[in-house]
Amino acid sequence: MTQAFDIAVVGAGMVGAALATGLGRNGFRVALIDFADAPEFVPGSTPDIRVSALSAGSERYLQNLKAWDTVLAMRATPYRRLAVWDQSSHPLTRLLPKPLARVEFNANKLGASHLGHIVENSVTQAALWQAAITQPNITLMPGVAVTNLIQNNNHAQLDLDNATAITATLVVGADGAQSRMRDLAGIGVTRSQYDQQAMVMSVRYRGAVEDITWQGFLPSGPRAFLPLHTAGEEFPGESWGSLVWYDAPARLAQLKAMPTEQLMAEIQQGFPQQLPELTHIDTRASFPIARQHAKHYYQNRVVLAGDAAHTINPLAGQGVNLGFQDAQCLQQLLIVARNNSTDLADPALLSQYENQRRPANRRMMLAMDAFYHLFSNRVPPLHLLRNLGLGAAQALPFARNRVARYAMGLD
């Protein structure tokens, strides 16, 4: 027999699992489908190569979903300071005072305990799966892929690769940047690939867990440091961290193929001096980075959320924070629709979702683009302009605090 649901969420990554949990907690009958198996957290394991800076706004959302305490019980590292500076030098800016090229946000000055947390993606996902499992009206379907979509006036049917099918009033495509649901629904994307890629490395460094995450900008791309948890008794006095090296694909391919000792030397030369002393490089992986936006957020009974709808340059770490905002917005609208006995795939409702989320996502996309173009060049006037911009942000507490509150997901 074909099982019937109110909502089928395809993709149980951070965004899909969060949305399904929220909907389940609000009484919807939800199917949560992912072609991967259930994520597992192993205490004492080396960190997941994929980590995200979760804003205070995302933390609050995960608290509402009863997943945040599970995240904290696994592993999460608060950061209290965030610094950004221009690492390149030019004769013109050498004449300017040094602090002008740097801006630092500090939780103390905002009356907050922290600005956000660095969390391994698999930890956030595992905590959300655990929260979803506790909801009796959520049916989790790990290790299952959707093979076909049929839509009619009353519901959508999803054929699955385990030779079964389900129906749902609404299908959410939360299956990431290469979304199969987006393709099945016939929704196109606009996409532009950046010249840079991101190479991420899990490393150990000497010293206690840092309370700062920072990014130094070079014309070839930024270099970023994100603190992770302590390395424990096995490596006393050491901590884990994540490094991101943005550069041209050919350069990153070269770095990725290097023996560890040589890579260590390249990092010492290529990263700002603020980098703590590294003792070990664990894993490395590179990711293509692209700006991608779905041409529509919905089509008939399929609606998109998270990376399936939009991907942005990760240089300010906002991708999943935007996805969580999509999920919250969609959940609120679906609750109103159910209370008004409206079809959950009513075009008026789904266009309201798109009207609220598209401009916000686009704004962040354009801001990241502006950052990328302003910093990834050697043109002297732009060099001066970005230094003056950083200097102004540092000198004007009001502007600095507004930016910080926005980045923290509080405004």
Ligand X SMILES: Cc1cc2nc3c(=O)[nH]c(=O)nc-3n(C[C@H](O)[C@H](O)[C@H](O)COP(=O)(O)OP(=O)(O)OC[C@H]3O[C@@H](n4cnc5c(N)ncnc54)[C@H](O)[C@@H]3O)c2cc1C
Sequence-distant (6+) residues with CB within 8 A of 58 are: 116, 320, 321, 324, 409
Q: Which is nearer to ligand X, 151 or 342 (CB)?
A: 151
- CB-count exposure of residue 305 (10 Å: 0-12, 13-18, 19+): buried
Q: How far is the CB of 143 from ligand X (least distance, A)?
A: 9
Q: How far is the CB of 92 from ligand X (least distance, A)?
A: 32
Q: How far is the CB of 287 from ligand X (least distance, A)?
A: 4
Q: How far is the CB of 200 from ligand X (least distance, A)?
A: 5
Q: How far is the CB of 334 from ligand X (least distance, A)?
A: 18
Q: Which is nearer to ligand X, 270 or 323 (CB)?
A: 323
Q: Which is nearer to ligand X, 183 or 346 (CB)?
A: 183
Q: Which is nearer to ligand X, 227 or 306 (CB)?
A: 306
Query: Which 8-state DSSP code applies to residue 62?
Result: H
Q: How far is the CB of 215 from ligand X (least distance, A)?
A: 11
* Residue 339, token pair as written in the block: 């209370």
Q: Which residues bind ligand X (CB under 6 A)?
A: 10-16, 33-36, 52-53, 121, 145-146, 174-176, 180, 198, 200, 287, 306-307, 314, 317-321, 323
Name the residue with the smallest CB distance to ligand X. Answer: 13
Q: Distance between the two ends of the chain, CA-based, in angstroms? A: 47
Q: Which is nearer to ligand X, 304 or 344 (CB)?
A: 304
* Residue 383, token pair as written in the block: 């060099």
Polymer length of the chain: 411
CB 28 within 8 A of CB 292: no
Task: Provide the CA 106 distance to its chain's centre, in angstroms.
Answer: 22
Q: Which is nearer to ligand X, 19 or 107 (CB)?
A: 19
Q: Which is nearer to ligand X, 317 or 391 (CB)?
A: 317
* Residue 93, token pair as written in the block: 């800016």
* Residue 69, token pair as written in the block: 């305490």
**What is the DSSP track for 281-311?**
EEEEEEEEEEEEEES-SEETTEEE-GGGTEE
* Alpha carbons 207 and 218: distance in angstroms, whole number: 26
Q: CA distances (Å), 339 to each of 303, 327, 343, in order?
A: 20, 18, 10
Q: Which is nearer to ligand X, 53 or 166 (CB)?
A: 53
Q: Which is nearer to ligand X, 118 or 263 (CB)?
A: 118
Look at residues 146, 151, 183 and name the one whose alpha carbon lies nearest to residue 300: 151
Q: Which is nearer to ligand X, 100 or 172 (CB)?
A: 172
* Alpha carbons 194 and 158: distance in angstroms, whole number: 35
* Alpha carbons 190 and 159: distance in angstroms, whole number: 28
Q: How far is the CB of 221 from ligand X (least distance, A)?
A: 12
Q: How far is the CB of 296 from ligand X (least distance, A)?
A: 17
Q: How far is the CB of 280 from ligand X (least distance, A)?
A: 20
CB 151 within 8 A of CB 302: yes
Helix count and strand count (H, E) for the chain: 12, 19
* Residue 277, token pair as written in the block: 């002393």
CB 136 within 8 A of CB 126: no
Q: How far is the CB of 115 from ligand X (least distance, A)?
A: 12
CB 141 within 8 A of CB 32: yes
